[in-house]
Chain A
Amino acid sequence: MGISTRKLALAIALGASLVLPAASSLAQGQPLTIGAVLPITGTSARAGIYWRNGLELGVAVINEQGGVKGRHLMLKVEDNASVVERSVTAYRKLVDTDGAVAVMAGISGHVLALAPIAIDTKTILINASGQSPKIRTAGPYTFTIINDASVQAEQMAEYVFTKLNVPEVGIIYTETDTGVGPMMAFEAAFTKLGGKVVAKEGHGLQNFDLRSHLRRIKSKNPKVVLVLTHQEFAGPILQQGNEVGLNVQWVGLSTVATSTLLNSAGKLAEGFIAILPEWAPGNASARVKDFVAAYRKRFNSDPDIYAAHFYDAAFVVAKAAAQATDASPEAFRAAMLGVRGANAIEGVAGRIDFNNQGWVRKPQEIVIVRNGAYVPLAKQ
């Protein structure tokens, strides 16, 4: 059983690449490498696909426009199979072996696990979908470009309690970071205002039969039901809600208020109230329209809000890399923090304007569905 010389050489090369770390690609003269640690398989795969697509599109557009000061932007996506241990090894591999200078990630828990490694390796970690407010204090190398759970939930709680004048609500939520975070934040904010969450129903990502959940909510008689689920459940929830006779004012956050809801719920979506950053599927601005069109063309489907977030993430990195004063990680980090004020980015998912700690509070507005489109209800 002799091993050919060629295979041996390949094995040695592979081994060497594992053992010898690659130089960071910040130095000039090579493509700039950024990485992403995303759930392409596993529990969160359905969400992860949108994240990856948005990011790929962003990188492609940047390269078409000339790259980062003439340098080609290279994207390496690694799958974490929706489990933490693979996120950690993926991040290490991207930094060690691929020389990535920035890594995008999602899922709050994973971001929190990666944050110390970002500090250790002096690479930028960009969170574009994890909603936990804990990430605010995760460290100097972690940047969040979305409104976390507290920001959206608090505003929605305020709206429901004071403007809609409803003291009792029901909540249906998906049992992931995307659902549980806002659920907890909303409950805290709403209770603080004096309201009460009379029904809370969680469901798993694989479970599309929510009739029993909705019936339980119905039995508690709330006037408003908050939908804190992933977007693909919105349609079934509205339909099954109608089926079991749950007639309430439906309310949701940006995660669920996408074109998928409009398409799958059809007429039942009329009157759905949500809160969105300036991006919305029917938004009239050219920037957003172009993004949606480009996404449709490339991937044959509609984007969701997270695709938009990850798309913006690419531009944030590109801008910081272009403005970094030298090739050191510290300069790169300083440039990231410099994306603020006059230097902020108007992304397709809202304005990215970092504060001192590397997170954002994007302006957002309450919208309502009228005639199959989202329409602003109250300017924030």
Chain B
Amino acid sequence: MSPYVLQVLSLFNVLAIAALGLNVVVGYSGILSVTQGALVGVGAYVGALVLLAGGGWLMASALAIAVTAALGCVVQLLSNRALGDYYIVISLGIQTVLFAVMLNWQDVTRGSMGLSGIPGIPAFAGGRIEFWVVSFAVLILAFLLVRAFSRSFHGTVLRAIRSDEIATLSLGKPVRLYKVGAFVFGAALSGVAGLLYATLHRYIDPYSFQVNLSILLLSAVIVGGLGNVYGSLVGVGLIVALPEALRFVPMPSGLAAHINEIVYYSLLILFVLFRRQGIVPEFGWGSSALNVLGRPGAKVAP
């Protein structure tokens, strides 16, 4: 198979894991977070630093997950107080602060110079089948975990919180804790995705983890269908394939790049206007959209 296609498929696996994590946060819990990009970055840097220091894969994965999960916990606790529209500004703020740390803490992250020479799977990654197999396995695992989560008690409570937070609170459930739990789970998945990202490209710099990535993932999850694991996969497929597909449409190179962005954001607007439940609605095709994006009377936040 063409190494080019294999590369794109590998990238798909990595971003899909992050999207599944985001789906837990936004889709199941209704928390509108734009911090995911930075969390993936944290996972990538932690994992890369461990690998470069000689630590093995186990240690790299464990630390990447631990650090991002802990960070996710702190982030959610900090921002829990702000609701609704205020939350997004705080979330954006945290994304910006984390990016600034990645960029400016040069002693550790080497700032915009980035970290290079990160070991791959096994000796060379990307364009090779080994990476794809490993990342696919991780993706399957993540998929099963998220599905199990959504069917668990925690998941059910989250959906209750999502449709009516105030009512759930009145039932005596510690709403805040459940939301933190969901966020931590989502963050951990982002951490894993970050580690894989670092291994795929063997070089990372802060610029891959800006708010653009957060918005990219958010779009994937929304367009694909919030609250539905298959939807997230479809969404990521779209966002990975679109820029690549546009490379093949003949047009002057200067314009091509901009057209790509215009198409992308127009698609987003169109979906949001006309098919809000996404490509795959929460409970599968054919179900009515019992989800966070527009059920009449649904109280998301004041």
Contact = CB atoms under 8 A, between A and B. Distances in A.
Q: Do A and B come into direct contact in the complex, CB within 8 Å? A: yes
Contact of B112 (A40, A79, A134, A180): A180
A180 B203 contact: no
Contact of A79 (B2, B5, B257): B257
Interface residues of B, number: 42
Q: In this complex, which of B207, B244, B260 has the most chain A Cβ atoms within 10 angstroms of its Cβ?
A: B207
A108 to B, nearest CB: 7
A89 interface: yes
A175 B104 contact: yes
Contact of A202 (B4, B104, B258): B104
B111 interface: yes
Interface stretch (A111-119, A238-246, A255-263): A111-119
B106 A180 contact: yes
Nearest to B115: A109
B3 A40 contact: no
Interface residues of A, number: 50
Given A90-B247, A93-B4, A96-B2, A84 B112 contact: no
Interface string B33-47: 000000000000000
Contacts, number: 119
Contact of B4 (A41, A76, A84, A92): A92
A284 B258 CA distance: 38
B7 interface: yes
Interface in B99-137: 103-104, 106, 111-114, 116-117, 124, 126-127
B254 A40 contact: yes
B222 interface: no
A77 interface: yes
A181 interface: yes
B2 A20 contact: yes
A117 B126 contact: yes
B52 to A, nearest CB: 13
A159 B243 CA distance: 47
Q: In this complex, which of A86, A95, A175, A184 has the most chain B Cβ atoms within 10 angstroms of its Cβ?
A: A175
A177 interface: yes
Interface string A67-96: 000000000111101111110111011011
Contacts of A180: 106, 111-113
Contact of B208 (A85, A90, A202): A85
Contacts of B253: 40, 52, 76-79
Interface of A: 14, 17-21, 40-43, 49, 52, 76-79, 81-86, 88-90, 92-93, 95-97, 108-110, 112-113, 116-117, 120-121, 132, 134, 175-177, 179-181, 184, 202, 204
23 contacts: A19-B2, A21-B2, A21-B3, A40-B253, A41-B261, A52-B253, A52-B254, A76-B253, A78-B247, A82-B207, A84-B205, A84-B207, A85-B11, A85-B197, A88-B201, A89-B244, A95-B4, A109-B113, A109-B203, A120-B127, A121-B3, A180-B106, A181-B113
Given A21-B3, A97-B4, 7 more contacts: A19-B2, A84-B201, A88-B126, A96-B3, A113-B116, A121-B3, A134-B116
